[in-house]
């Protein structure tokens, strides 16, 4: 007999992190989406497999995600309601044996479907699995207010965003020494934006979508949330500094290099000017 899925740690953690994002104002209405690659042995403790063969084409291939299970937010589902009815607002999908289709195996109880950003999520999972294995299981997208605000006033490139955020808080260089990736504006929900995000995910754990939001990845939901939270806090500080007329002093590049050495991290090459 399968275990009660509502007692599953991965489901409880997903519900909590989504509620936390909504409380922070990062996920208005149905804005944002989250996916978690569940360990197969864990998923199989809770999922009752059926003879359902109603597969949906992905229209792209992710062969290294074959037979994997993903807990994914539903398309059009309001984040504020996830805590009230997880089975309606979330679902679990399983990728087929060659990574070209998926089928629903739990949730989406009222005829729902996975987020429209599923192509981007699966593309990012595919890249991170090939690079990190089990050290990356989460892809998280939200509309973090201050990070979006900065895309209207900062140059849209990795060097500018990375250094500006590093200089706002000493935590940032330690938490994301690789910097933050930035892609051009692309229509959301398309294979194109998935491909562009996937390319950036080869080098970064954070990727900015200008005028839209941010993607973060991590081994756990806490890690991905904490990564975005750290960047957003630095962005909030920068927005306030700019609104107060700009800075009179700052952490210097030399001091950032000393910080990196002290914490044993290596800043992305070419950003610090020493």
Instruction: Dig out the tokens for 48 from the structure.
Output: 């009752």
Residues 64 and 135 in one domain: no
**Cβ neighbours of residue 171 under 8 Å, at least 6 residues apart?**
230, 233, 234
Phi and psi angles of residue 125, each rounded to the nearest 5 degrees, phi first? -60, -40
CATH code, 172: 3.40.225.10
Report the pLDDT averaged over residues 117-138.
Answer: 92
Residue ending a domain, choose from 52, 82, 116 = 116
Instruction: Kindly name the residue from 68, 117, 164, 236 that is annotated as catalytic.
Output: 117
> What confidence tier does 43 reach under pLDDT thresholds 50, 70, 90?
very high
Q: Are residues 74 and 40 in the same domain?
A: yes
Query: Strand (E) positions, 53-211?
Result: 56-57, 69-73, 90-95, 101-107, 138-142, 181-182, 206-209
pLDDT mean over 245-258 = 96
On whether the CB atoms of residues 78 and 84 are closer than 8 A, the answer is no
Residue 261 sits in the same domain as residue 141: yes
pLDDT band at 10 (very low <50, low <70, confident <90, very high): very high
Do 6 and 54 lie in one domain? The reply is yes
Mean of pLDDT values over 10-17: 97
Q: Does one domain contain both 20 and 155?
A: no
Q: How far apart are CA 192 and CA 48, in angstroms?
A: 35
Domain that holds residue 7: 1-116
pLDDT surpassing 70 at residue 52: no
Please state, rounded to an integer, the average pLDDT across all residues of the chain. Answer: 94
Strand 213-218 to 138-142 pairing: antiparallel
Q: Same domain, yes or no, for 166 and 71? A: no
pLDDT, tens only, 201-234 = 999 999 999 999 999 999 999 999 999 999 999 9
pLDDT of residue 262: 97
Q: Judge if 46 and 124 occupy the same domain.
A: no
Total number of domains constituting the chain: 2
Examine the fold and report which residue of 116, 144, 174 is the final residue of a domain before the chain moves on. Answer: 116
67 conformational bin, left if phi > 0, alpha if psi -120 to 50, beta if neither: left
Is 125 known to sit in a ligand binding site? no
pLDDT attached to residue 188 = 85
H/E run at residue 207: strand 206-209
**Structure confidence by residue, pLDDT tens digits, 164-184:** 999 999 999 999 999 999 999
pLDDT of residue 157: 96
Own/partner long-range contacts of 48-56 (Cβ < 8 Å, ≥24 apart) = 48/2, 49/105, 50/105, 52/103, 52/104, 52/105, 53/103, 54/103, 54/104, 55/96, 55/101, 55/102, 55/103, 56/101, 56/102, 56/103, 56/113
Q: How confident is the model at residue 190 (pLDDT cuts 50, 70, 90)?
A: confident
Whether 124 shows a pLDDT value over 70: the answer reads yes
Q: Does 232 participate in catalysis according to the annotation?
A: no
Q: Among 94, 116, 138, which residue terminates a domain?
A: 116
- To the question of whether residue 19 is assigned a binding role by annotation, the answer is no
Are the CB atoms for 161 and 46 separated by under 8 Å?
Answer: no
Mean pLDDT value of segment 18-34:
95
Average pLDDT for residues 129-133, to the nearest whole number? Answer: 92
Is it the case that residue 193 has pLDDT exceeding 90? no
For residue 35, the model assigns a pLDDT of 98
């Amino acid at each position: 007999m399968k275990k009660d899925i509502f007692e599953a740690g991965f489901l409880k953690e997903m519900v909590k992190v989504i509620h936390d994002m909504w409380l922070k104002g990062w996920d208005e209405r149905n804005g944002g989406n989250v996916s978690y690659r569940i360990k197969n042995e864990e998923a199989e403790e809770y999922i009752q497999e059926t003879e359902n063969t109603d597969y949906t084409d992905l229209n792209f291939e992710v062969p290294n995600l074959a037979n994997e299970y993903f807990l994914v937010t539903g398309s059009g589902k309001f984040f504020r309601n996830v805590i009230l009815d997880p089975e309606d607002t979330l679902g679990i999908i399983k990728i087929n044996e060659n990574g070209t289709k998926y089928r629903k195996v739990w949730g989406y109880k009222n005829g729902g479907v996975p987020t429209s950003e599923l192509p981007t999520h699966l593309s990012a999972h595919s890249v991170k699995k090939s690079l990190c294995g089990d050290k990356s299981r989460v892809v998280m997208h939200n509309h973090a207010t201050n990070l979006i605000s900065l895309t209207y006033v900062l140059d849209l490139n990795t060097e500018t965003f990375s250094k500006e955020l590093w200089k706002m808080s000493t935590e940032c260089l330690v938490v994301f020494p690789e910097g933050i990736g930035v892609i051009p504006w692309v229509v959301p929900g398309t294979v194109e934006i998935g491909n562009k995000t996937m390319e950036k995910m080869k080098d970064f754990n954070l990727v900015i979508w200008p005028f839209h939001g941010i993607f973060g990845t991590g081994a756990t939901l806490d890690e991905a949330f904490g990564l975005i939270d750290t960047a957003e806090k630095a962005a909030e500080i920068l927005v306030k500094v700019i609104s107060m007329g700009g800075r009179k002093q700052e952490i210097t590049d030399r001091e950032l290099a000393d910080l990196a050495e002290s914490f044993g991290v290596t800043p992305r090459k070419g950003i610090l000017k020493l």
